[in-house]
Structure 1
Amino acid sequence: MLSNKASWFSTTVMRAVVVNKFGGSEVLEIKRNVPIPKPKENEVLVKVAAVGVNPVDVYIRSGNYSKLPTLPYIPGNDVCGTVVHVGGDVKNYQEGDRVCSFRTSSGAYGEYTSICSKYLIKLPEDYDFVKGAAVGTPYLTAYRALIQKANFKPGQTILIHGASGGVGMAATQLAISKGMNVIGTAGTEEGMKMVRENGVKYVFNHREEGYASSVMSATGGQGVDGIIEMLSNVNLARDLDMLAPKGMVLVVGSRGSIEINPRAMMGRETNIQGVALGSSPDEDLREASLAVEVGLKQGWLNPVIGPKYSLNDVQQAHEDIIHNTGSKGKMVLII
């Protein structure tokens, strides 16, 4: 049971965003009488400080996603905060721990959330909560794509589309830490500058005609060994023409369909792989989580924070993440 002695349990309700029906951003309603989650024995209760906003949050809210939650629900999974209650079966965490996670049991857009302990990532004691909210999904997705799915090696050349966004920046930092050569793209001068400041020599604007030729020139005409693709419905056909022999496109994001010519894959025996964090086995998620904790300790893992919103501005955040003109770091809700 939750202790009544702690000040944060002086009430049984909390403020949270609730979705009662799928639809546009207007279905995101802020409620003040939502019951505080009751964690199970293998879970912890976290007092939420900040939440990462992801495009998938919008797809689910709109009803355009393969796996939809039961209505009503609290959106979000990327969360950061302080452990305030520990279930009886939890061994490696205690009250007061600063943690983040990529998967909650009760939703992230609220003042409290329950999280299974196997999905927790422990943060350094002085780690900034806002940055912590940008760790979970972006860095685990990057690890899933670059290491677990593709097994890219030091010295290989990787093109990262949307390198100024949350997942793109995570993939950039991870690839560089593993000794890979990174080429990045972004949609604005500000985004391109951000990517360069994170150690990428060759950065191109993917909104400009001819950027694919610039990528090929940067590789001496050989093409890239891998591509991290955030918007495959726009870029996939062009991606296939930029791959080196045996190269691979990792599809991290898509907002629709696209027609490709399979012959573009045949001569060089290239490959397309889908990446979905939600489909990852628990043992892979744990491996990725441990790698992220190492990155936090070593310091190469350093999220770049973009626009910040209050919970009251959640509808605007959902509009902006889909209709933005260029990613500039991870979008975060401050609770």
Structure 2
Amino acid sequence: MVKTVIIEEAGGPEALRVVDRPVGDPGAGEVRITHKACGLNFIDVYQRSGLYPMTLPHALGMEAAGVIEAVGAGVTHLKVGDRAAYAATPPGAYAQARVMPAAQVCPLPDGISFEEAAAMMLKGLTVQYLFHRTTPLKVGDTVLFHAAAGGVGLIACQWARSEGITLIGTAGSDAKCAMALEHGAAHCINYKTEDFAARVRALTDGKGVDVVMDAVGADTFEGSLDSLKPLGMMISFGNASGPVPPFSVGILGQKGSLKITRPTLFTHIAEHETCQAMAAQLFGKVQSGAVKIRIDQRFALDDVAEAHRALEARKTTGSTILTP
């Protein structure tokens, strides 16, 4: 029996329950992993609240790191005793241990700690697909990245710097802007005191940016479109302020023949080989020192509701981990 966080109905942080559950043995194509650290992400909030509906009751959590304890038939890339980490479906990472599909579980290099891995798998793989799999980016391109001081944002700032891409960030305070600048953003705009779209135009000599990467959603959508240059790409990859409301596709033509996409990480990592290759690039960035994983909050698994409250109140910076 292991501690596992579940919800029985959608709701606020109070809907989270810590229960004891049996783990069992892995079947074909599965592994059993004992977690050393678990990651916290906004997708967990969306699932808990019902924005992303699930069949209930259901365990929560999408990323973790630990040690492989058992391997099912047909699994060849992992063995008992291996250090491993993942961002993967189905949810269930908020647990001391679990049985899960092996395809998206990745061998973890010795130079990366369990805490770092749990803090970076979902966020770092998200940055990988944003910069390498969504639209072509090259040295000298300019990107607007919202929530630049969050877990995904701080990785994105460093990733952009490592590849010669100019990243303009936004954040909700001067302190958060300073953090983004420390991590490689070329500029950072406090959206609470400035019109970010107007500032982006000023910073780009009126041209706008090549790409907007926006996980905030409703609050930033219109300003994001207004920040793009003609033929620019809008990547809407999250809903921290709520989902983007319906809009007329004609507005994309009016604003300069813009492109828009709404990707998810789990489409990109669905194939085993692709997932492992993406993780290898992420691990390489971290091992080289180009990307450092900042963990600013730690909560015990029993305090998961408090962790959710902090995340939703925008009181967190960098990454947050849960310790089983």
TM-score strictly above 0.5: yes
Aligned pair partner of 2:237 in 252, 260, 267: 252
1:44 and 2:31 matched: yes
Cross-structure match for 1:5: none
Once the two structures are overlaid, the 10-residue window that deviates more, 309-318 or 250-259, is 250-259
In 2 relative to 1, CA 311–25 (structure 1 residues): closer, same or farther, beyond 3 Å?
A: same
Q: Could you list the per-position Cα deviations for residues 231-278 of structure 1 after superposition, in whole angstroms to 9, with x for gaps in the alignment? A: 120111111111112111110112134465744643521111112123
Cross-structure match for 1:296: 286
| Partner amino acid, structure 1, of 2:319 | K
Cross-structure match for 1:62: 49
Q: Would the aligned equivalents of 2:225 and 2:255 in 1 still touch at CA under 8 Å?
A: no
Q: Could you list the per-position Cα deviations for residues 195-221 of structure 1 after superposition, in whole angstroms to 9, with x for gaps in the alignment? A: 111122311112223332222222122
| Partner amino acid, structure 2, of 1:324 | R
C-alpha RMSD over aligned residues: 2.1
Q: SS of the counterpart of 1:44?
A: strand
Q: SS of the counterpart of 1:92?
A: coil
Cross-structure match for 1:316: 306
1:25 and 2:45 matched: no
CA distance in 1, matches of 2:183, 2:228: 24
Once the two structures are overlaid, the 10-residue window that deviates more, 241-250 or 293-302, is 293-302
CA distance in 2, matches of 1:214, 1:279: 34
Cross-structure match for 1:146: 131
Q: Would the aligned equivalents of 1:190 and 1:328 in 2 still touch at CA under 8 Å?
A: no
Unaligned 5+ segments in structure 1 are 1-12
What is the CA-CA distance between 1:106 and the residue it aligns to? Answer: 6.5
In 2 relative to 1, CA 121–299 (structure 1 residues): closer, same or farther, beyond 3 Å?
A: farther
Unaligned 5+ segments in structure 2 are none
Q: Could you list the per-position Cα deviations for residues 90-115 of structure 1 after superposition, in whole angstroms to 9, with x for gaps in the alignment? A: 22222232221001556111110223
What is the CA-CA distance between 1:296 and the residue it aligns to? Answer: 3.2
CA distance in 2, matches of 1:134, 1:293: 13
In 2 relative to 1, CA 263–26 (structure 1 residues): closer, same or farther, beyond 3 Å?
A: closer
What is the CA-CA distance between 1:291 and the residue it aligns to? Answer: 2.1
| Partner amino acid, structure 2, of 1:271 | K
Q: Would the aligned equivalents of 1:157 and 1:183 in 2 still touch at CA under 8 Å?
A: yes
CA distance in 1, matches of 2:302, 2:255: 53
CA distance in 2, matches of 1:264, 1:43: 44
Aligned pair partner of 1:229 in 203, 210, 214: 214
What is the CA-CA distance between 1:86 and the residue it aligns to? Answer: 2.2
Identity %: 29
CA distance in 1, matches of 2:267, 2:29: 21
1:207 and 2:192 matched: yes
Cross-structure match for 1:328: 317
Q: Would the aligned equivalents of 1:104 and 1:113 in 2 still touch at CA under 8 Å?
A: no
Q: Would the aligned equivalents of 1:121 and 1:293 in 2 still touch at CA under 8 Å?
A: no
Q: Would the aligned equivalents of 2:38 and 2:65 in 1 still touch at CA under 8 Å?
A: yes
Aligned pair partner of 2:21 in 34, 37, 46: 34
In 2 relative to 1, CA 42–207 (structure 1 residues): closer, same or farther, beyond 3 Å?
A: same
Cross-structure match for 1:8: none
Q: SS of the counterpart of 2:133?
A: helix
Cross-structure match for 1:4: none
CA distance in 1, matches of 2:24, 2:15: 22
| Partner amino acid, structure 2, of 1:227 | V
Q: SS of the counterpart of 1:149?
A: coil
Cross-structure match for 2:171: 186
Cross-structure match for 1:97: 82
In 2 relative to 1, CA 265–285 (structure 1 residues): closer, same or farther, beyond 3 Å?
A: farther
Q: Would the aligned equivalents of 1:14 and 1:34 in 2 still touch at CA under 8 Å?
A: yes
CA distance in 1, matches of 2:49, 2:171: 26
Cross-structure match for 1:7: none
| Partner amino acid, structure 1, of 2:309 | E
5 Å-filtered alignment, 1:239-278, equals 239-254=224-239, 255-258=242-245, 262-263=250-251, 265-278=253-266
1:73 and 2:58 matched: yes
CA distance in 2, matches of 1:219, 1:284: 35
- The alignment's TM-score, normalised by the length of structure 1, stands at 0.88
1:117 and 2:102 matched: yes
Q: Could you list the per-position Cα deviations for residues 290-310 of structure 1 after superposition, in whole angstroms to 9, with x for gaps in the alignment? A: 322332332323222122111
CA distance in 1, matches of 2:174, 2:208: 24
What is the CA-CA distance between 1:47 and the residue it aligns to? Answer: 1.0
CA distance in 1, matches of 2:280, 2:148: 23
CA distance in 2, matches of 1:264, 1:15: 48
